[in-house]
A and B are shown apart, each in its own frame.
Chain A
Amino acid sequence: MARFSLRPIVAHAVLLSGAFLMIYPFFWMWRASTQAPGEIFGTLQDAPPMLASIADNYARALFDSPLPNFMLNGVIMTGGILLSQILTTVTCAYALAKFDFRGRRLIFAIVLVSLSVPAQATALPIFIVLAKFGMLDTYTGVMVPYLTSGFAIFLFHQFIRSFPDEILLAARLDGMSEVEIVIRIILPAMMPAIAAFSIFSITFHWNDLYWPMIVIRSIDLAPPTLGLLFFRGQEGGDSFGPLMACATLVTAPLILLFLAAQRRFVQGVTMTGVK
């Protein structure tokens, strides 16, 4: 009898302590961002009121540092990449799923191969070409390797394949052009898949450090990840509170997006598991 009542308690204890370890770094980051210099490590006895420290740290992060600029760069790069990816992949996936044409198998093979080529492996040749055309240290330079996505094509292809052919046929009989069909029928029907992919893409590129570190030299063009490293390198130990405020602000958008759309988020990120 005792074991039956004990088991859920043990389960909860394990789950809760794990959850604590997961949450603690976020909690600590937030707490550190709300405290005056020195206070977090217990060296300051007369702590100024917390609200004053919050105002001070976040004001310095938002107005005295280039953080807003970093965030804007991140939005432009992430948004540009996503837009280009959707524009190039939806039509391609539609063509692969619903038409038979010369080159179809070749394209499909290339899509499958591209799934297993990590982005870091192609960095050097793209870097050399960008340097040739003077496109290093530009927004375009950051976006070039990611203008299309084999993963998106594969995913969208799986999704469109099950779309009923009768509807497409009827639309054609009504005199709709293929472009109209894509815009007015395929695109709306694909929204769940597009949303899931968008979350995957936004998460990846907002968090990407590898490629921006290679292409971006000037602090004005840095995305949030690279900007944080600039900021940490420039400021001394006394700007610990503002640094943590910056870290909080950089992490916040994705966390908020996640809390707002948990289901889609989990779908979007775990889709990498079924690709």
Chain B
Amino acid sequence: MNSRSDLEIPGQVTPKGGLSHAAIAQAFSAPAFILLIATVVAPVFVVLLISLTDYRLGRLTLNFIGLGNYARMLADPFFWGALRNSAIYTAVVVPVSVFGALCLAVLLDSRRRSRRFYEIVYFLPVTSTLTAMSIVWSYLLNGHIGPLASLFSTLGLPPLDFFADGTLALIGLAIIGIWHLIGFNLILFLAGLTVISGELKEASALDGMDGFWDRLRYLTWPLLAPTTIVVFVLSCIQAFQVFDTVAVLTNGGPYGATEMLLHKINTDTFTGLKAGYGSALTVVYLILIGAFSLVQVAVGNRKAHF
């Protein structure tokens, strides 16, 4: 990592003003260093500390209560509910958006002229403002007004009101999540396919392998394995961070059916003012996201060594 130390040129080129190179480098990195300490490192430690107290926002005093918040969390059905909902949401969004994107990427990779067009179209939701689009989706998935409702009534089916029913509301949020994420995954897979395209052509020419599914299963997917793991982990992180759609569409309702981890942290901490308890939830959230990131770093390093 210190391969750049050869720029420490002794003697002949001393910078103007008599400052050493090391001092200049320290001055150059000081603002970012101080800000990273103040806005990332210190807050993480403060959250850890607050999670051991009974602190409430707006109060002047606090008491250390040890692991009390964590004990309370383990006994809190709403915590388990939120964790379960986040897990279900992730278990729906991640497989569909990863596998769907993979299939689309394989289909798209062999298209020559239309490829750009599809890339742009599938990527549009990624760049869109999810808060605004959530409002749009609330009408699209509404059981009484909107296009889905008229489609259902034309087909003679009973109305499907997504955000009035618990299970359906979670599925509704997952549909929006997939819509928002699939283009992002598609682009990552396309990048991965470009890297392996040489090997791919050679191998399929040798084997004479035929059929879309065979090629996908025995050839493309194994070669794409490192990309797939990165896409999978990133999708999990994205899915566990779902917030905008919950805040705009359901606020965790009906009756907590769509309460997710991050939304619960937000409401408990800033609406319920239970800062101590909210911090304990935040620590759980940090550990989950940190674990996903570690997997990603591990995979990334393995790929780099290849």
Contacts and interface: CB of A to CB of B under 8 A. Distances in A.
Interface of A: 7, 11-12, 14-15, 18-19, 21-26, 28-29, 32, 41-42, 87-89, 91-92, 94-105, 107-108, 110-111, 113-118, 120-128, 144-148, 150, 153, 161, 165, 168-169, 172-173, 175, 177-178, 182, 203, 206-207, 209-210, 213-214, 224-225, 228-229, 232, 243-244, 246-248, 250-251, 254-255, 257-259, 262, 265-266, 269-270, 272-274
B122 interface: yes
B279 A91 contact: no
A22 B179 contact: yes
B140 interface: yes
A30 to B, nearest CB: 10
A273 B191 CA distance: 11
Nearest to B13: A172
A225 B297 CA distance: 32
Given A100-B4, A124-B278, A255-B128, A173 B107 contact: no
Contact of B266 (A12, A24, A214): A214
User: Is chain A's interface secondary structure helix, strand, loop, or mixed overall?
Assistant: helix
A240 B292 CA distance: 41
Contact of B32 (A24, A88, A121, A168): A88
A209 B234 contact: no
B137 interface: yes
A269 B184 contact: yes
A134 to B, nearest CB: 14
B2 interface: yes
Given A99-B4, A100-B5, A207-B131, A25 B179 contact: yes
A87 B39 CA distance: 17
B71 interface: no
Contacts of A172: 9, 13, 15
A92 B43 contact: no
B152 interface: no
Contacts of A124: 43, 46-47, 50, 269, 275, 278-279, 282
Interface in B142-197: 145-147, 150, 179, 182-184, 187-188, 191
Contact of B31 (A32, A92, A103, A122): A92
Nearest to A254: B127
Q: Which of B136, B183, B289 has the most CB of A within 10 A?
A: B136
B99 to A, nearest CB: 13
B42 A125 contact: yes
Contact of A224 (B31, B129, B212, B262): B129
B138 to A, nearest CB: 9
B104 A18 contact: yes
Interface stretch (B76-84, B85-93, B113-121, B216-224): B113-121
B136 A28 contact: yes
Contacts of A125: 42-43, 46-47, 50
14 contacts: A23-B121, A91-B28, A91-B31, A100-B8, A121-B286, A124-B46, A126-B43, A147-B35, A165-B7, A175-B16, A203-B127, A225-B132, A254-B128, A258-B123
Contacts of A103: 26, 29, 33
